[in-house]
Copies of this chain bind each other. A is one copy, B any other.
C-alpha cells in the first residue's frame, strides 16, 4: 500500500506500480477515458487517476462512481513534467470498496462557509477546511515543540473550577442538578467552566520555573461576532524570574517558531489559502519572520492616535484620550498604518487591566503587554504579575473582587514568589491569522456560539 504522502515525498519511482486506498473527490469520463481525483487523507494534495475502458472491466461502474466513495486503485505511477499536476496514476484496477450515497452533501461545486457550518462533521473533506485543520494541527504541535525545546513543563490546569472571580457573570455553570441547589450538587458547591488557566499555572511556575497550559477555555458571552466563540483554546505560559522585556521576547520567539514550522511542513496548504482565501497571507507571514516586532508604550500609542485624528484619520470612536481602552480599529491602525508589523503595546493604565498585574513605579500603569497584529488586532495579552502580597490584596479590595476564593492564589506571594510573568495566546485568533479565515467558526472543528451547538 502506498500513501499519497509518499507519492509527494518522492518515495516512489517513475513507472512503478502502486496501490492506493482513498476517497473520490471528483470523477469525469468521456467515452473510453476517465479522470478521477482522489485523496487518501495522508496529504493535502490530491492525486489524479487516469482510467481507460480498454484496461478496466468495470469501466462503466467506475465512470458513474460518486464523490466520496472509497476505492482501491492499482496502477502505474507516471511522472508528468509537462502537465499541471506533477504526476498521475494510470489505473490497471479500480475496486469499489464502499459506494457513497447520492445525497452526499459535498457535490463538486462551490459551497458557502455558512452552508458548510451546518455539516461540521463533513466539511474537513473540502480543500479549504482540510487546509485549515491541517494548519491547526501543525500549529498545536509547533507550540508543544517550542515549549518542550525550551524546557517548559506542560500543566493540565483544571477545566471545572470553583474560582469564578475573574469570569464573573460570563462563566458557564457545571452541574448535575436541574435546580440551583449547589450545596447538594456533585462538588458540594457551585462549579464553573474555566475562563483561564493562568492562576493555576502561576502555582506550578513556582515549582518548575517555566510552565504552560494549552487547553480549552469558555466564555458564556452572548456575542454573535466573527471573533467570539463560547469554547476556544488558549496557550498560557507562566515563567518565574522574568520581567516584561523577556516576556515580550518569548512571545515573539514563539510566534516566529510556529510560522517557521508551518512554512516547512504546510507550504501546500499556505499556497492554497493564499490563492483562494487571502492573497496577502504569504506576504504577511513572511514579513513577520523577516523583521523584529515593534514596541510602543501605551502612552506613545495614544499620542500617535491623537495625531492621526488631527491629520484626518477617521475612527468610529475618534475620542482618543489617555486611560481609554483601545478598540480593534485603533489597534489595527497602530500595527497596519503606523508600524506596519506586529507591535507590542506595553505599560497600560491600571484601570483597564486585570487585578493581578504588577503596578509600575509611576503607580498609574501596569507592566502589561499586548501584541497587535495586522488584520486581527490583539493576538496576545501578557503581564508581569503583582508579587507583593499587600498590594495585590488591596488591589482586589479596590476592585471589589472577593478574596476568599482567591486566598490560595494570593498566598503564593508569601512563599518566595519573587517574580513571575506570562501571557495568553488565543489559539483560534492565531489560526485565523495564519490561514486568512475571517470567521472564528471556520477554524474550530465543531464551533460553539450562542444558540448554536451542533453535535
Contacts and interface: CB of A to CB of B under 8 A. Distances in A.
Interface string A395-410: 0000000000100110
**Which among A21, A199, A208 has the greatest number of chain B C-beta atoms within 10 A?**
A208
Interface in A199-218: 199-200, 203-210, 215-216, 218
Interface string A124-164: 11000110011011001100100010010111111111110
A104 B204 contact: no
List the number of copies, as a whole number: 2
Contact of A98 (B153, B158, B417): B417
Contacts of A172: 160, 174-176, 186
Interface string A1-41: 00101000000000000000101100000000000000011
A103 interface: yes
A241 B19 CA distance: 13
A285 to B, nearest CB: 21
**Contact residues on A (Cβ < 8 Å of other chain), bracket:** 35 or more
B41 A415 contact: no
B104 A414 contact: yes
A130 B207 contact: yes
Contacts of A452: 187-188
A159 B216 contact: yes
A204 B133 contact: yes
Nearest to A205: B41
B98 A416 contact: yes
Given A41-B240, A137-B155, A153-B134, A122 B445 contact: no
A203 B130 CA distance: 12
Contacts of A305: none
Interface in A216-232: 216, 218, 220, 222, 230-231
B203 A121 contact: yes
28 contacts: A21-B241, A24-B416, A41-B207, A41-B209, A42-B210, A68-B416, A97-B418, A103-B414, A119-B408, A121-B203, A121-B408, A121-B409, A121-B412, A122-B415, A124-B208, A130-B207, A156-B233, A158-B445, A159-B216, A162-B454, A172-B174, A173-B178, A186-B220, A186-B451, A187-B230, A191-B453, A215-B215, A409-B455
Please list the 5 inter-chain residue pairs (A to B) with the smallest Cβ-Cβ separation, ordered nearest first.
A41-B209, A121-B203, A178-B180, A124-B207, A70-B418
